[in-house]
Structure 1
Amino acid sequence: MPEPTQTSDQRLVKGARARATIARHAADVASVEGLTGLSLGRLASDLGVSKSGVATLFGTKEKLQLAAVASARDVFIDHVIRPALPEPGGWPRLRALVDNWLAYIEEPVHPGGCFRVASIAEFDSRPGPVRDALKADRDDWFTLLEKEISRARAQGRAPDRDPHALAFQLDALVGAANVGARLGDDTAIHTARTIIDALLAPGPGTTPPTDT
């Protein structure tokens, strides 16, 4: 007979797995129907589990929304950020981040495309914990982009401009490409990539170092 502590540990692991599965599905649903479209009952029905079980894990719709935001953040990190980290800081890593980012919307991980683009548009004027979580995630992403842009500038591989302004432009372009792609514009991602390549071209009078 297993020790009580072992039984408790197994239940915790099982609960964590169930929570992660539900949160990931919630992120997928929200990418199409919005975070406000989430419900405990809908997710329980989709996944073939009891509504009371989902309620036990999340408690409220807001906590479910926050779990969806956190799950989508993990997905973005896994597909966009983590694969770029082995690249040297600055230009190589910045290019990898941008390329991964475009691939993330070209072959969408979530059925509705970029979760962040859809959710921020939905919650940008709705104060509260969900908006705060989305803002914190966006701020972290901008901080990473600005850090690598600053390094790239020092390497002579990015225009001599404010890192925040360039991060803002990159974010706007990829966001527009995501919207265009979801609307069936086959040129959206190519157009965004072409403009981004121009933005990241070496500044006047600089000699780009050879990548190693």
Structure 2
Amino acid sequence: MSPRKSVAEATATRARILDRTLALAVVTGLEGVTIGALADDLGMSKAGVIGPFGTKEELHLAAVDEAVARFRAAVLAPLSGADPGTGRLVRAHDAWFAYMTADGHAGCFLTAVAAEYDARPGPVRDRVRAALARWDAFVLGELDAGLAAGELPPGTETAQLLFELRGVALAADQGIQLWQDPQAATRARRAVRRLLAPA
């Protein structure tokens, strides 16, 4: 076997494991995704599953990183070149809610893992917090740009608005996963538009 083929196969195997980890974690929680469960699900040995990562924790961290990369590709990348402000922020939330329900998704992996690890200190919690902090910084930047452009009422407290937008996203995720409400994403889009209504 050529080195190039073996690297390609290793990369494909790693991607397959991560893909299944993300799918299972939305249902069982990330902590519920064990090496044994993955091995059975993928028809692999436990050594074959853990090999690309080294430890279960490294697998979980890699899953968080993969989820972040997919979120960026689906939600943020399409906004490249758009003017900052509330219009771009509405589009970002629309894309996020669409991502929660696309291709058999059952909500947002990062939102689910944040709830699972919110009171459990450690590297996974730290990685999720860092990812969500970057999203918060993006949202605040868009809100500040919208406020400066007169798209929001003068004196709008952007930190409060960020808090309320977080609440909409959490409600959307719960509506999709827990309540299996087919209208959850639509209701979330309406809520975002109400919060970001022009001055």
TM-score, reference length from structure 1: 0.84
1:141 maps onto 2:131 in alignment:
no
Per-residue displacement from partner, 1:89-148 (whole Å, max 9, x unpaired)?
22332121011112122x245633111221111100000000001100100111111111
Counterpart secondary structure, 2:51:
helix
CA separation of 1:159/1:18 partners in 2, compared to 1, >3 Å: closer, same or farther?
farther
Identity of aligned residues (%): 37
Q: Is the 8 A contact 1:87 1:96 kept in 2?
A: no
- Pick one of 165, 168, 173 that aligns with 2:168: 173
**Greater Cα offset, 11-20 or 131-140:** 11-20
1:19 maps onto 2:14 in alignment:
yes
- Kindly report the root-mean-square deviation, in angstroms, between the aligned alpha carbons of the 2 structures: 1.9
CA separation of 1:109/1:171 partners in 2, compared to 1, >3 Å: closer, same or farther?
farther
Per-residue displacement from partner, 1:59-104 (whole Å, max 9, x unpaired)?
2111111111111111111111111223222233212101111212
1:93 maps onto 2:115 in alignment:
no
- Residue 62 of structure 2 corresponds to 67
1:49 maps onto 2:44 in alignment:
yes
1:81 maps onto 2:86 in alignment:
no
Query: For residue 11 of structure 1, what is the amino acid of its counterpart?
Result: S
Structure 1 stretches of 5 or more lacking a match?
A: 204-212
Query: For residue 77 of structure 2, what is the amino acid of its counterpart?
Result: R
Measured in 2, the distance between the counterparts of 1:46 and 1:87 equals 42
Counterpart secondary structure, 1:86:
coil
Q: Is the 8 A contact 2:53 2:59 kept in 1?
A: yes
**Greater Cα offset, 60-69 or 131-140:** 60-69
- Residue 123 of structure 1 corresponds to 117
Measured in 1, the distance between the counterparts of 2:76 and 2:32 equals 28
- Residue 187 of structure 2 corresponds to 191
Structure 2 stretches of 5 or more lacking a match?
A: none
Q: Is the 8 A contact 1:79 1:100 kept in 2?
A: yes
> Aligned pairs, how many?
197
- Residue 209 of structure 1 corresponds to none
- Residue 28 of structure 1 corresponds to 23
Q: Is the 8 A contact 2:22 2:67 kept in 1?
A: yes
Q: Is the 8 A contact 1:26 1:43 kept in 2?
A: yes
Q: Is the 8 A contact 1:146 1:167 kept in 2?
A: yes
Q: Is the 8 A contact 1:65 1:130 kept in 2?
A: yes
Query: For residue 37 of structure 1, what is the amino acid of its counterpart?
Result: G
How far did residue 10 of structure 1 move?
3.8
Query: For residue 189 of structure 1, what is the amino acid of its counterpart?
Result: A
Q: Quick check: which has more Rg, 1 or 2?
A: 1
Q: Is the 8 A contact 2:75 2:92 kept in 1?
A: yes
Query: For residue 202 of structure 1, what is the amino acid of its counterpart?
Result: P
Measured in 2, the distance between the counterparts of 1:131 and 1:69 equals 10
How far did residue 36 of structure 1 move?
0.8
Query: For residue 169 of structure 1, what is the amino acid of its counterpart?
Result: E
